[in-house]
Amino acid sequence: MEYEPVIGLEVHARINSETKLFCRCSNNIFNEKPNSHVCGICMGFPGMLPATNEQAVKKGAKTGLALSCTVNEFSKFDRKSYFYPDLPSGFQTSQYDKPIAEHGKLNITLSDGSVKEIGVTRLHLENDAGKLTHTSGGTLVDYNRSGTPLMEIVSEPDIRSVEEASLYVRQLQKIVRYVNTSDANMEKGQMRFDINVSLRPKGQEKFGTRSETKNLNSFRSLEKALEYEIKRQTELLESGGTVVQETRGWDDDKEVTVSQRGKEEAADYRYFPEPDIPPIIVTKEEIEQLRSELPELPGVKAKRYQEELGLSVIDANNIAADVEMADFFEKATKVSGSPKKTANWLLSELIGQLKSYNMAFYDNKLSPENLGKLVKLIEEGVISNKIAKDIFKEVYQGNLDPEKVVEEKGLKVMSDTGELEKVCQQVIDRNPAIVADFKGGKEKAIGGLVGQVMGATKGSANPKMVNEILRKLLS
Ligand code: ADP
Ligand code: MG
Ligand code: ZN
């Protein structure tokens, strides 16, 4: 029997507010000395009164709007009780039945260019736990992370493949970065995933039983864990077994999911309304204010790049997906005057350079002006595409002004027709056999002559012009 995977994702993203969710401790905890950003509130001391961080709530609501959610004018916090040494209060403060935002959606662009909508069930706020480190001498606990604000974004079970899941989380990362509500940097533990996977026979409506694998902390482990779970469940079902509803963990070294415990239900957590924190009230006006602060989102931007600037679907989506790349592209295009060519250079040459150094776009040191100038030099026929490629690495590495590089190295296209004609004649004189081929009807033979002229001029001639001159001289 053929099975179809059904996937729903829960994404935890750390909100990039200055302070934690319920206290004034700093939220910038990466690589900080253990337990250096803690207080009685975030360490769960009895009798301490939390106060909700308005900035974090607004960022959560704003993310909801960016995901086309309804932001609830009334939402509240609930206690989710469980015991763990990294959770000193014995409960997590989360949102159960009244989340800050719900009923949203996110579009992903599949590799065939088609767009698929994934439903976003809800976005709720909660505080994170501390962090345990197991050593040979015992277990250490660092409470710096305790109380930092998370938004949990829960998808509908609309995802049908590893590819779709991967596109969804990448798009989500782009969006929270766009609206500047989370840095979503996985190396810094700012984004984690839980995956819910079930299988059903192709054509069947009803969902199968799901497993939930928690705490994946990279795109790669998300993809690997999904592949593993789909394979595991397929084999289980094909051999006549049944999938049990349970919580699993991911072993990154062995690349397998392992059963941790039976599925806990809401009742196991003894959810109850948080008595120490007043409900969150957001007015219609505040919601509209937040909406007006949203930047142009990737989907809208990509559409504009296609319709107004003539980019291909793929190029438009690739550039628009990354807010920094999009800004860069728009600035460079202003200088070059040619959006399509700028997109090409950005996506192939610049990204190529970055990849060769294993760098992400935000590591880029080349200014958009200098890329724009380079493209303009090609567009105006001052340098050939080949010359541009030759000098690109140098321009990129030093963030140099390409106009100056071209000037200093004397790389301008030979536009002196007389000079070029002389070289063409020399090449014709030296190659009677090729000339005979061409005159005998072998159209392609002219390529050999053009190549030689390009060689003789060290690539500084305009191949189109060379072609024309050769044809004129041979006619
Ligand atoms: P819980 O609180 O137990 O994690 P939820 O109802 O909030 O349960 O669902 C969590 C996630 O599981 C959601 O992303 C949802 O889309 C997904 N999900 C629910 N049912 C299934 C299923 N049968 N197969 C795959 N995913 C599912
Ligand atoms: Mg869950
Ligand atoms: Zn604190």
Q: Which residues surround ligand 3, an ion (CB under 5 A)?
A: 23, 25, 39, 41-42
> Distance, CA 211 to ligand 1 centroid (Å)?
9
Tell me how far the alpha carbon of residue 148 lies from the centroid of ligand 2, in angstroms: 19
Q: Specify whether 366 is located in the same domain as 265.
A: no
pLDDT of residue 323: 79
Quote the ligand 3 centre to 102 CA distance (angstroms).
29
Cα(131) to centroid(ligand 3), Å: 15
Please give the number of the atom of ligand 1 that sits closest to the Cα of 155.
Answer: 14
Ligand closest to the CA atom of residue 266: 1
Q: Which two tokens stand for residue 232?
A: 């595991």
Atom of ligand 1 nearest to the CA of 264: 3
Question: Relative to the alpha carbon of 263, which ligand is closest?
Answer: 1
Q: 456 and 337: one domain?
A: no
Which residue is closest in CA terms to ligand 1's atom 7? 154
**Do residues 313 and 210 both lie within one domain?**
no
Using CA atoms, how far apart are residues 84 and 34, in angstroms rounded to an integer? 18
Residues 300 and 381 in one domain: yes
- For residue 318, the tally of other CB atoms under 10 A from its CB is 21
Task: State the Cα–Cα distance between residues 461 and 427, nearest whole angstrom.
Answer: 14
Choose among 355, 322, 55, 8: nearest CA to 165.
8
Give the Å distances, CA to CA, from 220 to 53, 225, 361: 33, 8, 19
**pLDDT the model gives residue 170:** 92
| Same domain as 238, residue 118 | yes
Give the predicted TM-score (pTM) of the model.
Answer: 0.76
* 379 plus 451 within the same structural domain: no
* CATH number of the CATH domain containing 463: 1.10.10.410
Ligand nearest to the CA of 154: 1
Judge if 423 and 440 occupy the same domain.
yes
Alpha carbon dihedral 191, 50, 179, 364, in 10-degree steps, equals -50
Tell me the chain's radius of gyration from C-alpha atoms.
29
Q: How far apart are CA 451 and CA 457, in angstroms?
A: 10
Q: Do 272 and 301 share a domain, yes or no?
A: no
Ligand 1: which of 95, 154, 215, 265 to mutate, most ligand atoms within 8 Å of CB? Answer: 154
In the chain, how many domains are there? 3
Same domain, 329 and 247: no
Q: What pLDDT is recorded for position 113? A: 65
Q: Could you give the CA distance from residue 365 to residue 293 in angstroms, rounded to a whole number? A: 29
Boundary residue ending a domain (409, 431, 450): 409
Same domain as 240, residue 345: no
Do residues 401 and 458 both lie within one domain?
no
User: How much distance in Å is there from the Cα of 222 to the middle of ligand 1?
Assistant: 16
Ligand 1, CB within 6 Å, residue ranges: 6-10, 154-157, 196-198, 207, 210
Residue at 322: amino acid letter: D
Choose one of 196, 263, 264 to mutate for the ligand 1 pocket test, by most ligand atoms within 8 angstroms of C-beta: 196
| Ligand 2 centroid to residue 194 C-alpha, Å | 7
Q: What is the pLDDT of residue 363?
A: 77
Domain boundary (234, 265, 290) is at 290
Domain, as residue range, for 197: 3-290
Round to whole Å and give the CA distance between 195 and 197: 6
148 and 212 co-located in one domain: yes
Question: Given this model, what pLDDT does residue 347 score?
Answer: 92
> What are the pLDDT tens digits along the chain (475 aa)?
899 999 999 999 999 999 999 999 999 999 999 999 999 999 999 889 999 999 999 999 999 999 999 999 999 999 999 999 999 999 999 999 999 999 999 988 777 767 789 999 999 999 999 999 999 999 999 999 999 999 999 999 999 999 999 999 999 998 999 899 999 999 999 999 999 999 999 999 999 999 999 999 999 999 999 999 999 999 999 999 999 999 999 999 999 999 998 877 777 888 999 999 999 999 999 999 999 999 998 888 999 999 999 999 889 988 988 778 899 999 999 999 999 999 999 999 998 888 888 777 777 889 999 999 999 999 988 888 888 999 999 999 999 999 999 888 877 777 667 788 899 999 999 999 999 999 999 989 999 999 998 888 877 787 788 888 999 999 8
